[in-house]
């Protein structure tokens, strides 16, 4: 009896099961990516701050100072007495009429304001965190609380022939250019000290480490 052998069929290997990424690995990957993004953003911000901090500080300093217009540094109470006199009446160029003169002692007081024009202040950067502020000439910025009173008055018997003394003209003489220049010279040490304090406080409020030097016009 002949036995016929049945050929063997090739066996197909069973597919390997797909391995899933553990959850902890996915979380770690996401955290690592976020860390890289945050690091890049911080580096860019730090670089921008480093490069732009100086320019920003310059802008803040200049804007804070040049926005000032008239800067009153000193308000001084001024009191004094001035003599006003009207000469006797001149009669046709021949002689002066006796008794026609007028004399008045006027006591005056007012609060004088001295300072600078803020728009004329110049700021120059002299180095890292260092500036030079050029202060313009000090000037008279006006007065307030004026008060006039007659301390004494002497009029001749014929004073009615001459014009009365105009008290309002007193301030025109008191505030002449020469008188103002004298006041400014007297107050100069105080004016310079006040200017240093005023502008230093502005700049150090922006950056306490800034160094400032001052230059004053004469």
Residues 162 and 209 in one domain: yes
Residues 89 and 193 in one domain: yes
pLDDT for 19 equals 52
Residues 60 and 81 in one domain: no
Q: For 46-68, how does the pLDDT look when each residue is reduced to its tens digit (9 = 90+)?
A: 444 443 455 666 666 666 665 66
pTM of the predicted structure, to 2 decimals:
0.61
Greater confidence, 98 or 38? 98
* Dihedrals phi, psi of 23, to nearest 5 degrees: -60, -40
Q: For 135-170, how does the pLDDT look when each residue is reduced to its tens digit (9 = 90+)?
A: 999 999 988 888 888 877 777 676 666 777 777 777
pLDDT > 80? residue 74:
yes
Share of the chain above pLDDT 70, in %: 65
Residue 61 sits in which domain range?
A: 25-66
Number of other CB atoms surrounding residue 203 within 10 Å:
20
Alpha-carbon distance of 207 to 58, in angstroms, equals: 11
- Predicted confidence band of residue 82 (pLDDT cuts 50, 70, 90): confident
């Amino acid at each position: 009896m002949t036995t016929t052998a049945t050929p063997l069929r090739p066996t197909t290997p069973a597919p390997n099961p797909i391995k899933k990424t553990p959850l902890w690995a996915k979380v770690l990957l996401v955290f690592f990516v976020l860390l890289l993004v945050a690091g890049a953003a911080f580096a860019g911000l730090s670089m921008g701050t480093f490069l732009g901090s100086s320019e920003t500080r310059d802008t803040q300093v200049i804007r804070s100072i040049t926005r000032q217009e008239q800067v009153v540094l000193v308000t001084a109470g001024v009191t004094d007495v001035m003599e006003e006199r009207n000469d006797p009446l001149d009669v046709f160029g021949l002689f002066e009429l006796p008794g026609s003169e007028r004399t008045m002692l006027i006591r005056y007081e007012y609060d004088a304001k001295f300072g600078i024009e803020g728009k004329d202040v110049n700021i120059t950067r002299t180095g890292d965190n260092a500036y030079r502020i050029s202060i313009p000439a000090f000037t008279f910025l006006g007065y307030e609380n004026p008060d006039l009173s007659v301390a004494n008055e002497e009029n001749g018997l014929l004073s009615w022939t001459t014009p009365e003394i105009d008290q309002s003209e007193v301030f025109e003489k008191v505030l002449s250019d020469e008188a103002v220049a004298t006041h400014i010279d007297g107050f100069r040490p105080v004016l310079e000290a006040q200017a240093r304090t005023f502008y230093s406080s502005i700049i150090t409020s922006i950056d306490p480490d800034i160094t400032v030097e001052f230059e004053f016009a004469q």
